[in-house]
Amino acid sequence: MKPTFIGIGAQKCASSWIYRILEDHPEVCLSERKELDFFSYHYDNGYQWYERHFACGSVAKAVGEISPSYFHDYDAPARAKEYDPRLKVIVSLRDPIERALSHHKHLVRLGFYTGPDFSFEAGLAQNPSYVEQGLYAKHLSRWLSEFPPEQLLILYMDDIRADADAVVRQVYRFLGIAEDHRPAALHVKANPSYVVRNRMLDIFVKRCRAGAKALGLRSLWQALGRTPLRGLYEASNRIDSDAVIPAMLPETRAQLHSVFDEDTRQLAVLTSRAVSWTKE
């Protein structure tokens, strides 16, 4: 089936939460895998490969997927428009400095950044995408050059924190689906930051999860996740990232404020909304 909407990020800006508040809506059909990355990394697989990920019933009024790589990918906007100029596009943004810090914590969690210095400053020095992905006006302008503003819904994490119910209704209204549905994940924090104690055990659990889904046992895996086993595993193999990653230095934050300042002003013009990033 052909999707009617895509979520494009930015990365570490509540895309997992958006996926979850759509996942259990009876009128929404999502790709089972959250990030298909078709318009960014897998475009050469073709439309047929893409559309095979949407096994939807006749009741679905909104069909889509969420891939944060689309927001900053240079070619994704034009590819998405060529595929279907009627696509609805959901964008989510947050303070770019906090986004960069969350990006760093995410790479530490995945084991892509291995230290020995786990500080944000050390990660920033070796990964320019921490800044690049936070240049929201730069990336959003490409999407607005391909799609009219009324086909883009721009969300802010500050608004989600302030009134998640209102944001959920806003998303549902944008997609043309029933606004009175109350998702189970409404007030659940998605992707909390942590560092694993035993990387091999973490890989084993993830492979088990993938295997269960491949065998059609997704509901069984989800049921196991609601038992005390999940809590025991997380308590034994996860450490809060703040215990491993030192707080960002004040001078680093000040420097990044100056880096993002002009882009933030441009974002306010693009969106006709005054942007006031707040510290988490």
> 47 is written with which tokens?
């439309």
Q: How many CA atoms lie within 13 A of 91 on its CB side?
A: 24
pLDDT of residue 149: 97
Question: From first to last of its 280 residues, what are the pLDDT tens digits of the chain?
Answer: 899 999 999 999 999 999 999 998 999 999 988 899 999 999 999 999 999 999 887 789 999 999 999 999 999 999 999 999 999 999 999 999 999 999 999 999 888 998 899 999 999 999 999 999 999 999 999 999 999 999 999 999 999 999 999 999 999 999 999 999 999 888 877 666 666 666 677 777 668 877 877 777 777 766 777 777 766 766 676 676 777 899 999 999 999 999 999 999 999 999 999 887 754 4
Rounded Cα gap, residues 70 and 13, in angstroms: 13
pLDDT of residue 237: 64
Contact 268, 274 (CB under 8 A): yes
pLDDT of residue 28: 96
pLDDT of residue 17: 94
pLDDT of residue 190: 64
Q: What residue ranges do the domains of the chain occupy?
A: 5-191+257-271, 193-248
Q: What CATH class has 5-191+257-271? A: alpha beta
Rounded Cα gap, residues 99 and 8, in angstroms: 15
pLDDT of residue 234: 63
pLDDT of residue 110: 84
